[in-house]
Amino acid sequence: MRSKRIVMACNRSIFRSIDTIESLGATRDEVSQDILPKLYDLCRAALLLNSYNLGCSKPNLQLAYEQAQLDLRTKYLANFLRGLKYIDWPYSGRWSI
């Protein structure tokens, strides 16, 4: 499933970005700008996987977000994703919840 690959790729990429603070001397701002889009992708993929696990055969982000709001185990992830929208970082027109 594509969402699982996204989760794994984002996870590796975020770890690499954090490692650049120590190895390359990147600033926290540079690392944050690199990590925020990946966190957004990671949250979206996790919500979609959750929706799929709840029995939806073709989940979309809106449905996944609404389902996550109804479950205490996933509500905070949905709220975190929503909060990412309000952080000022360059994006590629990805905002849709």
DSSP string, 15-81: HHHHHHHHHT---HHHHHHHHHHHHHHHHHHHHHHHHHHTT-SS--HHHHHHHHHT-HHHHHHHHHH
pLDDT in tens, the chain (97 residues): 677 787 788 888 888 888 777 777 777 777 778 888 888 888 988 999 999 999 999 999 999 999 999 999 999 999 999 888 777 655 544 444 4
pLDDT for 29-47, tens place per residue? 777 788 888 888 889 889 9
Token pair in block for residue 70: 């109804």
**What does the alpha-carbon distance between residue 69 and residue 87 come to, in Å, rounded to a whole number?**
21
Instruction: Decide: residue 40, CB within 10 A, 0-12 exposed, 13-18 middle, 19+ buried.
Output: buried
pTM higher than 0.85:
no
> Tokens 């794994």 identify what position?
8
